[in-house]
Structure 1
Amino acid sequence: MPCTSNAVDAQPLTVVSNRLPVELHRNREGLAVRPSSGGLVGAMSPILRDRGGTWVGWPGCSVDGDDWTAPLEAFAQQSGYSLEPVNLSQADIDAYYAGFANSVLWPLFHGFSRLCEFRPEFWKRYLDVNRRFALRLARSKEVGSHVWIHDYHLIHVGKMLRTAKMDLERLGFFLHIPFPAVDLCRRMPWMHQIVDALLAYDLVGFQTPQDLHNFLGCVAHCMPHCEIERGRTSAVLDVGHRRLRAEAFPIGTDFDDFSERASRPEVAARAEALQRELGPYDILLGVDRLDYTKGLIHRLEALEVALERYPSLRERVVLYQLVVPSREKVGAYASLKDELERTVGRICGRFSTRKWSPIRYRYGRVDRVELGAMYRQARAALVTPLRDGMNLVAKEYVASQVDANGVLVLSEFAGAAGQLADGALLTNPYDTEATAETIRRAVEMGADERASRMAMLREVVRETDVYWWAERFVDRMEQPLDKRSVAEPLWRTPSAEALPLRAF
């Protein structure tokens, strides 16, 4: 549960993200509000409610005129904080969101520069939309003096607010995706502008120490005269006219919510039904959004190697792979979906018997009961992205393992590896043979070791949940730099320092 003991004395907070915590949709009566779900909404809503504040973002559809006023005001009365919508046109969505944000920053920051489309018109539209967000903040009477901006879509908003000389006491930014190393970042024509924009904040937050390390390397490259005081998980930067802090804040999930839901009778019943539907086999679970960063093909190929090398796994395990639709109109994603389905068909054709098939592939979305049942029943979760800022599926699985019977197989390139190394089985998803061996080990692990490892994982995920993350960031953002410079680490994993740097 979130801690709000200091809410009475706290300043109102303004949260800025690409999307509002609601979606506007049309019904027979006109526009209506549908609350969004997700970790960010769950973390920030209690803080905004208790402190008072405003959330600024796109409402999910293009709206002309003021007909969105009534539904948003009704939501504000129920939620305890106000909403400030920023209207985006289809041209904005195409060039700013699908264009620069997701065809330049997303692939580049995840290490897939070959998929980047470095088109000047995307960059111009990105700046234009960031400027529109900044103007909305500057003109709103609801915006307070403490502003927290989220993610790669809105990097320039802080600098634009500084340029507009908006009266802000504290200005923070958190990047939810990885930050690339300097050699990769240099491929982007606008690298210097991106780094300069990040230096406009009082606090810049990253998921992991590796992301922080990469950012500091880019700062040193772009601005060699910048003075940097480094710690393991934080740094203070002196850019001449101002000082700022950069720090790693590993985001969490809502442990209590997932754990409590997994314990409900309807979830337990659905978990048993799922097991009957899949057969008397150990369930290997994959839950991923359709994305080339998730390592879906590599995972399937590792399973194929495991079935080939370890015949004992045949007619013993089934991979239940859920793929959530995403950006299907983008060429790279459509091609990935086709390749994924071909690979599933090939492996099933190779190994299936009359009574058993090694993969159950599901493309679509599931409700919270179904997801809880999948997490609870799985003997092992295969969370093997090629690169990921954190990967909350790993933490959701752990939180849902109320029977402590599962094993987490985790990519060392997921940000979560920095916290969960003690209890998870780490693997390099590019090494299909090693991943195949890790799958075998997970399946054959004894009950005592499974329970011991899961207990360690649940402790970490419980103690560093999404509320812990949000409160720590806000506390640090409001802390003057002269109170202390480099902060103490927020990471609890004792063996994290023993991990290879790439594990972060």
Structure 2
Amino acid sequence: MGLVIVANRAPFRLTPEGLAPAVGGLASALLPVLEARGGVWVAAREEGEKALTLRPRESAIRLVQVTLPQKEWQGFYGGFANRILWPLCHYFLEKVELKRDYFQDYVRANQRFASKVTELLQPEDVVFIQDYHLMLLPKLLRERVPNPIGFFFHIPWPSSGVFRVLPWGKALVEGLLGADLIGFHTSEYAENFLRTAAHYGFPIEGNRVRWGDRWIRVEVHPLGIDTARFRELVRDKRVQEHAQALKHLAGKRLILGVDRLDYTKGILERLLAYERFLRTHPHWRGKVTLFQIATPTRTSVAEYRELKRQVDEVVGRIMGSFLREDWIPLRYFYQAFPPEELVAFYLAADVALITPLRDGMNLVALEYAYTSEEGILILSNLAGAAEYLREALLVNPYDLEGIGAALDQALRTPKGARQERLQALWDRIDGLDVKRWAEGFLHSLAEGR
């Protein structure tokens, strides 16, 4: 039985040596499964963008790309996915742009995916669709083929009241109900989806939704990290040496933030909380340094450029207010780092401050907790990972004083207590291994047919 994975993004990146696996949770989770089973990864390509080769060297995986005209791509991806679904699902209603043209492009793009996948499918193939870009695709496929279809929603599913802001909400829910199994990271998201489906008149029974004569299952399958890979990196001598160099660079207790520069990640609020922490806890001045990594993203979008301007302003203000000849309070890295360098930062950090304003899961929190040897994790209670990482210090990311109090507590926590917390987190993260996530979902999809 072959596997057809459908996602907006290809799992490969172009390097001087050819195609290499992309860095990230989804590629880490699905490529080994696809390699073992044999199959196809279907992804979008904007017209004019360089096409990737159909079959990477030394791989049994085929990559098939769906070419979208530039205007349609902009409406589908830049418009409906990123200016409607992304902010709405993260509760940023003031950023939602309800433009009908965006939805029409979204429909057309999903139809192109449906045509391409239908061409490729063999009778015994299983289809596994990824994320909010392709919510209409399960229904479009179900109308054409009888194959097993699974869908995973990787970002938060908001409350029913928030989702109903969408004029096309029922069409999107109906689109997902073409699948046999719909997966979410947390029980909260699954329950929100069931309530949303019930609002639109679909009968609910336990964790199942009825559409016509079919029952669709809704399950929780939390995505984890590649634990084996991170164990290797922790043991790597070069990584350990880099960690020591970072400790030396900090010179003090090291607090670490790692995020994409996206408004959902709470970087601006975190910097404001750190600024307030230094004012209200003066005994830590000269004794701590915050390293904030902000990976550039969507730099062509004006809203993201404005966020960068605001972040730069607060960074400058912190440095201007607190910098001393013998102490640098903040080091700001506006760049991306490969996994081996990130692990060095994790090993060097006494505290990780991961405070997204809303997040589907947040794998950085898992990576830090799994690789740290003596550190403590401060985590937003609005991240999906908070449902599983209860031994972290959970904070409200909007509560600047609360974040400061958690920082003070984390920095005061004795080594033994930190290691007890970490041991509990290690055990739980082992159970969330990324490969187990993919196999567990596909096993459930097969069992339920």
TM-score of the two chains, using structure 2 as the length reference: 0.96
Determine if the alignment matches structure 1 residue 435 to structure 2 residue 389. Answer: no
Aligned to 2:194: 216
Specify whether residues 35 and 142 from structure 1 end up closer, same or farther in structure 2 by C-alpha distance, changes over 3 A only.
farther
Q: CA deviation at 1:41?
A: 1.0
Q: Structure 1, unaligned stretches of length 5 or more? A: 1-10, 482-504
Determine if the alignment matches structure 1 residue 50 to structure 2 residue 36. Answer: yes
Determine if the alignment matches structure 1 residue 261 to structure 2 residue 251. Answer: no
SS at match of 1:252: coil
CA distance in 2, matches of 1:369, 1:465: 18
1:408 to 352, 377, 382: 377
Deviation string for 1:456-494 (max 9, x for gaps)?
11111112111111111111111126xxxxxxxxxxxxx
**Identical aligned pairs, as a percentage?**
39
Over aligned residues, Cα RMSD in angstroms?
1.8
**Correspondence list, 1:347-358, <5 A:** 347-358=318-329
Aligned to 1:311: 282
Aligned to 1:477: 445
**Correspondence list, 1:270-349, <5 A:** 270-279=242-251, 281-349=252-320
CA distance in 2, matches of 1:22, 1:144: 26
* Letter paired with 2:311: L
SS at match of 2:8: strand
Aligned to 1:424: 392
Q: CA deviation at 1:141?
A: 5.3
Deviation string for 1:15-36 (max 9, x for gaps)?
11001212358x8xxx953432
Specify whether residues 141 and 469 from structure 1 end up closer, same or farther in structure 2 by C-alpha distance, changes over 3 A only.
closer
Aligned to 2:73: 93
CA distance in 1, matches of 2:49, 2:283: 58
Specify whether residues 55 and 144 from structure 1 end up closer, same or farther in structure 2 by C-alpha distance, changes over 3 A only.
farther
SS at match of 1:55: strand
Partners of 1:22 and 1:59 within 8 A in 2: no
CA distance in 2, matches of 1:143, 1:81: 19
SS at match of 2:97: coil
**Correspondence list, 1:332-411, <5 A:** 332-401=303-372, 404-411=373-380
Deviation string for 1:89-108 (max 9, x for gaps)?
33233111111100000000
Specify whether residues 59 and 41 from structure 1 end up closer, same or farther in structure 2 by C-alpha distance, changes over 3 A only.
farther
Q: CA deviation at 1:60?
A: 7.0
Q: CA deviation at 1:144?
A: 4.9
Aligned to 2:184: 206
* Letter paired with 1:322: I
Specify whether residues 270 and 24 from structure 1 end up closer, same or farther in structure 2 by C-alpha distance, changes over 3 A only.
closer
Q: CA deviation at 1:150?
A: 0.1
CA distance in 1, matches of 2:339, 2:190: 34
Aligned to 1:131: 111
SS at match of 1:430: coil
SS at match of 2:7: strand
Determine if the alignment matches structure 1 residue 149 to structure 2 residue 132. Answer: no
Aligned to 2:54: 72
Specify whether residues 62 and 23 from structure 1 end up closer, same or farther in structure 2 by C-alpha distance, changes over 3 A only.
farther
* Letter paired with 1:443: L
SS at match of 1:302: helix
Q: CA deviation at 1:270?
A: 0.6
TM-score of the two chains, using structure 1 as the length reference: 0.86
Partners of 2:73 and 2:105 within 8 A in 1: no
CA distance in 1, matches of 2:244, 2:124: 50
CA distance in 1, matches of 2:20, 2:354: 30
Q: CA deviation at 1:85?
A: 1.4
SS at match of 2:292: strand
Q: Structure 2, unaligned stretches of length 5 or more? A: none
Aligned to 1:251: 223
Partners of 2:46 and 2:70 within 8 A in 1: no
**Correspondence list, 1:102-251, <5 A:** 102-140=82-120, 144-163=124-143, 165-168=144-147, 170-223=148-201, 226-230=202-206, 235-251=207-223
- Larger mean Cα displacement after TM superposition, 40-49 or 171-180: 40-49
